[in-house]
Amino acid sequence: MNFRIGFSSVLWMIIGVLFLRCTGSSNNKLKTVIISNFPISNLKLSDFSKSVELIPLETHPEGLIMEIVDLQISEGLIFILDLNSRLLAFNRKGEFVSRIGTDGEGPGEYKYVRSFAVDSTSRRIFLATNRGLLIFSKEFEFIEEHLTLKNLDYITIVENGVWTISQSYEKPVKEGFANETYLHFLDSKFQNQDSIPFRTVILKNKTAASYPFKNFISSREESYFLFTPVLTNEEFIRDTLYQVANRKLIPHRKLEFEQPHFNEKGIKNVWIYNIFVSGSYLFCEYTQNSKKMFFVFNEVNSTGYNLEGGLLDEHANKLKLHPLRNSLEQLYFVQKASFSNTATEEQNPVIGIVSLK
């Protein structure tokens, strides 16, 4: 079910940077960020990054990548979740190391992986799979599995435990069918301590859709933030990023699009896929009238940049940034590998690790 900065003020006025107003006071009122209907196309990655580390990934028969949907770096290893639902490990030079787990229905086996996380302390590897939660050692050996945890769409490791997100679809209700999203807090034995109902979407007909690039939970300092998209048509836009505090969800930022939200047939013009934070920035990945858009907001000086396609690298290629798991001020992007005369297979991509200013 896949769909598929200090900057000089004068300089950015010349190139058309948009200053977005942030409403609300500091007394815990929800602040709204206005996203203009006039995007710019010439913002460079180098304008707000301290450094970029490029890592070409080895093209290995056991580690061929269709498309990277999630990534984490831990203790010198790069863990990559592929669109083929496999978790792969490479070293910092980009050399293939191993696949974690194998295909099947037995212990330590799975058909697909929805999400993963690596504990930076124990270095244990957690896989949310079709069979349940599978746990592997830092040597990639299978340790244990929890088969009751089958419907996990996302998993992350925080200081006080494991957080997961589950999503259920097409549940019959009086008004039609419900798609439900929950945030769960697991203890050290992976028992559910608490659950927060995050969202219920009521639809007249059975309809469900998901997006493979799941940046559901992001962090800044000691704070955690949550956004999950709704990719079915509704009468309003789900445009708010929530902070998770004391097992409660607090609205943190609301995005207000100047672009009309719906067309004349009542179909969304704006589809939001991800809202996340990193460092002093807020990012939003969305489409507007079927065009891929990427929004960057500097929360220090309340300046926003609405970009068509993404940020530009030194070759004017457009890049889409993703949050790097367990990193507060780093993101990553994916580029196609340089031309190769290898005729047998497409080369694995190059990843870029971006450190923010």
Q: What is the pLDDT of residues 242-296, one digit of tens each?
A: 999 999 999 999 999 998 899 999 999 999 999 999 989 999 999 998 999 999 9
Contact 244, 289 (CB under 8 A): no
The tokens for 143 are 């340790």
Is the pLDDT assigned to residue 130 strictly greater than 60?
Answer: yes
| pLDDT tier, 11 (very low <50, low <70, confident <90, very high otherwise) | very low
Contact 295, 309 (CB under 8 A): no
- Give the pLDDT score at 342: 53
| pLDDT tier, 318 (very low <50, low <70, confident <90, very high otherwise) | very high
CA 299 to chain centre: 19
- The residue among 66 and 345 whose pLDDT is bigger is 66
Contact 268, 237 (CB under 8 A): yes
At 327-343, the pLDDT tens digits run 888 999 999 887 555 55
| pLDDT tier, 344 (very low <50, low <70, confident <90, very high otherwise) | low
- Give the pLDDT score at 8: 35
Q: What is the pTM of this model?
A: 0.87
Neighbours of 9 (CB within 10 A): 12
| pLDDT tier, 16 (very low <50, low <70, confident <90, very high otherwise) | very low
Question: What are the φ and ψ backbone dihedral angles of 91, each rounded to 5 degrees?
Answer: -85, 180
Is the pLDDT assigned to residue 114 strictly greater than 90?
Answer: yes
**Given this structure, which CATH class describes domain 9-356?**
mainly beta
- The residue among 325 and 345 whose pLDDT is bigger is 325
- Give the pLDDT score at 113: 95
Lowest mean pLDDT, pick from 58-62, 301-305, 320-324, 340-344: 340-344
- Give the pLDDT score at 339: 58
The tokens for 35 are 């996203």
Is the pLDDT assigned to residue 21 strictly greater than 70?
Answer: no
- Give the pLDDT score at 259: 85
At 133-181, the pLDDT tens digits run 999 999 999 999 999 998 899 999 987 789 999 999 899 999 999 999 9
The tokens for 350 are 């190059």
Sheet of strand 142-146: strand arrangement: 113-118, 125-129, 133-136, 142-146
Is the pLDDT assigned to residue 27 strictly greater than 50?
Answer: no
- Give the pLDDT score at 20: 37
Contact 185, 194 (CB under 8 A): yes
- Give the pLDDT score at 150: 85
Gap between the Cα atoms of 133 and 190, Å rounded: 9
- Please, what is the average pLDDT of the chain? 88
Contact 309, 294 (CB under 8 A): yes
Contact 173, 180 (CB under 8 A): no
Residues 195-203 have a mean pLDDT of 93
Is the pLDDT assigned to residue 322 strictly greater than 90?
Answer: yes
Question: What are the φ and ψ backbone dihedral angles of 121, each rounded to 5 degrees?
Answer: -85, -60
Contact 193, 173 (CB under 8 A): no
Gap between the Cα atoms of 216 and 323, Å rounded: 10
The answer for residues whose C-beta is within 8 angstroms of residue 290's C-beta and 6 or more apart is none
Contact 83, 113 (CB under 8 A): no
3-state helix, strand, coil in the chain (%, to 5): 5, 50, 45
